[in-house]
């Protein structure tokens, strides 16, 4: 699904959001926030262009303290409400009792299981009854995302729209905007963490490494997705 009539030029966030909101009502769209710098940029756009769009976040139980600090700073800056979704307690208890706290590092199947319990299942609940959801994904982030479109049909969630306003933005554009708007970015970004997920599954990257090299660093690059963006 094309985000704008012409596919020969990069689409702006305004164009992508405008095109999406012609297809679905803003009240039926939600923004998924992981508190990355990209998500902060998208939220700033939404406060100006479509403040009625609600925002949700997934608390996996393993987030960095710095990530929670960003959430609190957002509340202060925009006076917004965040709908939090947590893993199902019983599923999490069964996983940790059976496999311990770091089973995700033992195999790809184990890591997918942990991500499903902590992220995917809560996401499924967050999207029930919605017509579309917004992310901060960009093509430049990794090899697993270079085929993304600004507006996609999300077959995994019943064919709702998946909207990626920053799809064509570079790292430089993201950070220039964040600095100009004085967004409360995660302190870990300045410590070598361009991509931040759960604490046990994220490390700072080394010089010359790809931006998402610090995510599930023990896995091959083509596996570096958690299941939220299938």
- Please indicate whether residue 198 is annotated as part of the active site: no
CA-nearest of 189, 197, 137 to 168 is 137
Model-level pTM greater than 0.85?
Answer: yes
Rg of the chain on CA atoms, in Å: 17
Determine what percent of the chain is predicted with pLDDT higher than 70: 90
**Catalytic member of 114, 198, 201, 226:** 226
Query: Domain extents for the chain?
Result: 13-187
**60-95: per-residue pLDDT in tens?**
999 999 999 999 999 999 999 999 999 999 999 999
The whole-number pLDDT of residue 224 equals 64
Q: In the predicted model, is pLDDT for residue 8 greater than 90?
A: no
Q: In the predicted model, is pLDDT for residue 143 greater than 80?
A: no
Q: In the predicted model, is pLDDT for residue 115 greater than 50?
A: yes
In CATH, which of 3.40.50.1370, 3.40.640.10, 3.40.50.620, 4.10.520.10 is domain 13-187? Answer: 3.40.50.620
**211-221: per-residue pLDDT in tens?**
889 999 998 87
Q: Which range among 10-14, 56-60, 142-146, 160-164 shows the weakest confidence by mean pLDDT?
A: 142-146
Question: Where residue 197 falls among pLDDT bands split at 50, 70, 90?
Answer: very high
């Amino acid at each position: 699904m094309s985000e704008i009539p012409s596919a020969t030029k990069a689409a702006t966030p305004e164009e992508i959001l405008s095109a999406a909101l012609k297809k679905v009502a803003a009240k039926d769209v939600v923004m998924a926030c992981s508190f990355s710098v990209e998500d902060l940029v998208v939220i700033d756009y939404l406060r100006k262009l479509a403040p009625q769009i609600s925002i949700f976040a997934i608390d996996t139980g393993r987030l960095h303290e710095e990530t929670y600090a960003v959430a609190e700073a957002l509340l202060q800056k925009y006076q917004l409400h965040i709908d939090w979704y947590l893993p199902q307690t019983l599923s999490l208890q069964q996983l940790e009792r059976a496999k311990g706290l770091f089973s995700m590092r033992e195999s790809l199947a184990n890591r997918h299981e942990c991500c499903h319990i902590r992220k995917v299942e809560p996401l499924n609940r967050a999207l029930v009854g919605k017509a579309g959801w917004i992310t901060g994904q960009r093509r430049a982030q990794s090899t697993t995302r270079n085929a993304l479109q600004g507006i996609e049909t999300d077959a995994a969630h019943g064919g709702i729209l998946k909207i990626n306003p920053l799809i064509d933005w570079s790292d430089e554009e993201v950070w220039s905007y964040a600095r100009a708007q004085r967004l409360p970015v995660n302190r870990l970004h300045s410590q070598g963490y361009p991509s931040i997920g759960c604490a046990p599954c994220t490390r700072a990257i080394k010089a010359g490494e790809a931006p998402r090299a610090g995510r599930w660093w023990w896995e091959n690059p083509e596996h570096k997705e958690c299941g939220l963006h299938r």
